[in-house]
Amino acid sequence: MRLTDSPEEASWRQHVREFLQSDLPEVLRPKPGVDPFAAMAAAMGFGGEAGGDARGRPQAQAGGAGFSLAGGPIGEWRQKLADRGWVAPAWPKEYGGAGLSTMEQFILNEEFAEARAPQLGGMGVMMAGPTIIVHGTEEQKAEHLPKILKGETQWCQGFSEPGAGSDLASLQTRAVKDGDDFVLNGSKIWTSGAQFANWMFMLARTDPDAPKHRGITYFLLDFKSPGITVQPLVQMGGGAGFNQVFFDNVRVPSKNVVGEVNRGWYVGTTTLDFERSGIGSAVGIRQNVERMIQWAKENVGEGHSMLGRNPLVRLELADRLVEANVAKMLSYRVVHMQNVGMVPNHEASMAKLFSSELGQRIARAGIKMLGLYGLAWDAQSPHSPNHGQYSRGYVQSVSGTIAGGTSEIQRNVIAQRGLGLPRD
């Protein structure tokens, strides 16, 4: 594994960096003391708590009335990225992507993360589009891919159910053939962004008598279809980033089946592979620790920084920075394997496990650094150091070891496939 850029990679990095310096709209550039996520949310035209504006809405009808990624500063930014194929850098050029190699994508992601520039991918670019490219019909490609690239469709992922998360193949949402349609009944849960979505890619059971992996079909569901209800789930941090979605006799045309009927499990694993191949969080992790260290230095003696009083806080910050660099190395390993045509398996689980648990350790270090002020929540209060960011980050970090596969599941993968230990 090589840890420095080749001359070609260095020149690609420089190219991306120069583009970001010259073209990233002012409103999207990071400002000292401003939460980058809040700035992004404001530029997109929705405010409120992290994750959405659905707080307090007891129920929302589906249909994607939420916000648009096509207009305003984000629309302008999207156009600049689209001109280069960088809305979907990993997609082949024939579908409007940039057809970048793994290493070029990684460098692009790193530079975007360093500049904290929004990539606008979303689930359409990251998961729905790539799955349609691999398994979809020509008609599905023509209908969906251009709209995903233009930001005209917002997608959500309807996989998890109240009784099916880690054991996804146990899902019970039923799809019954009726003429040219299937009729859906059941419920999905933890559906991120469903309150903003106008399409969902989802799995439903079409043959309840078949072995559980064999009776599942993959559908593209228009969220304007009658019979869909989205119930926002308010998290303990106050945001309503995800939802429960109910289907009451929802009709899906057969042309919206991706792949073969009853073979949807294998299409779904393609989507999960794309979901888990996301690279780039390591830069964000390091930046978090660096911002924390900077804040601790600037606020010594201000009463709410424990740095001058508690030597353990210093050691914590030092440990977190070392670990942030370990997380980066684990990501490099995954990227290196992809780049030479290997398929990362337990190596990807190691990177996910380590970085999500590190995210929680960093959040705890932030709270410890503040002492009792770490309990302050109100972003506007003069008693909330750093606008309550560390208290909120602490609460929000909890979900990192659940989303995208829990830590226990990652450890099982490492134990069985990495260490060769028996299943039981």
Q: Angle at which helices 281-298 and 346-370 pack, to 10 degrees?
A: 20
Instruction: Tell me how far, at minimum, the Cβ of 309 lies from ligand FAD, in Å.
Output: 35
The token pair that represents 240 in the structure block: 């309503």
Contacts of 359 (CB under 8 A, 6+ apart): 285, 288, 397, 400
CA angle 251, 255, 258 (to 5 degrees): 100
How far, in Å, CA of 129 to CA of 89, rounded? 12
Q: Which is nearer to ligand FAD, 6 or 170 (CB)?
A: 170
In the complex, the smallest distance separating the C-beta of residue 409 from ligand FAD, rounded to whole angstroms, is 6
If the CB atoms of residues 119 and 356 are measured against ligand FAD, the closer one turns out to be 356
Instruction: Give the shortest CB-424-to-ligand FAD separation in angstroms.
Output: 11
Instruction: Tell the smallest beta-carbon distance from residue 13 to ligand FAD (Å).
Output: 31
Compute the least distance from the CB of residue 164 to ligand FAD, in Å: 7
> Closest approach of Cβ 414 to ligand FAD, in Å?
12
Tell me how far, at minimum, the Cβ of 192 lies from ligand FAD, in Å. 3
* Burial class (CB within 10 angstroms; exposed 0-12, middle 13-18, buried 19+) of 332: middle
Measured from each CB, the residue nearest to ligand FAD is 165
Task: Please give the residue ranges that form the binding site for ligand FAD (CB under 6 A).
Answer: 156-160, 165-166, 190-192, 242, 399, 402-403, 405-406, 408-409, 412
- Active-site choice (111, 275, 323, 347): 275
For residue 143, how many other CB atoms are within 10 A of its CB? 16
DSSP characters over 198-242: SEEEEEEES-TTS-TTTSEEEEEEETTSTTEEEEEE--TTS---E
Please indicate whether residue 138 is annotated as part of the active site: no
Local structure of residue 124 (DSSP, 8 states) = I
Based on CB atoms, which residue is closest to ligand FAD, 356 or 386?
A: 356
What CA–CA distances, in Å, run from 397 to 202, 374, 410? 26, 15, 17
Hey, what amino acid is at 41? A
56: left (phi over 0), alpha (psi -120 to 50) or beta: left
Q: In this complex, which beta carbon is closest to ligand FAD, that of residue 321 or of residue 415?
A: 415
Q: Which residues pair with 233 in a beta bridge?
A: 242
Report residue 249 CA to chain centroid gap: 30
Nearer Cβ to ligand FAD (134/403): 403
Q: Which of 184, 187, 207 is nearest to 254 (CA)?
A: 184
Vertex 42 angle, CA 36 and 44, to 5°: 105
Is 229 or 339 the residue whose CB approaches ligand FAD more closely?
229
**Could you give the CA distance from residue 60 to residue 242 in angstroms, rounded to a whole number?**
12
Of 168, 151, 345, 182, give the one whose Cα is nearest residue 266.
Answer: 168
- Judge contact between 373 and 356, C-beta under 8 A: no
* Smallest separation (angstroms) from ligand FAD to the CB of 53: 17
Select from 153, 154, 82 the least CA-distant residue to 119: 82
Q: State how far Cα 419 lies from the chain centre.
A: 28
Catalytic positions: 275
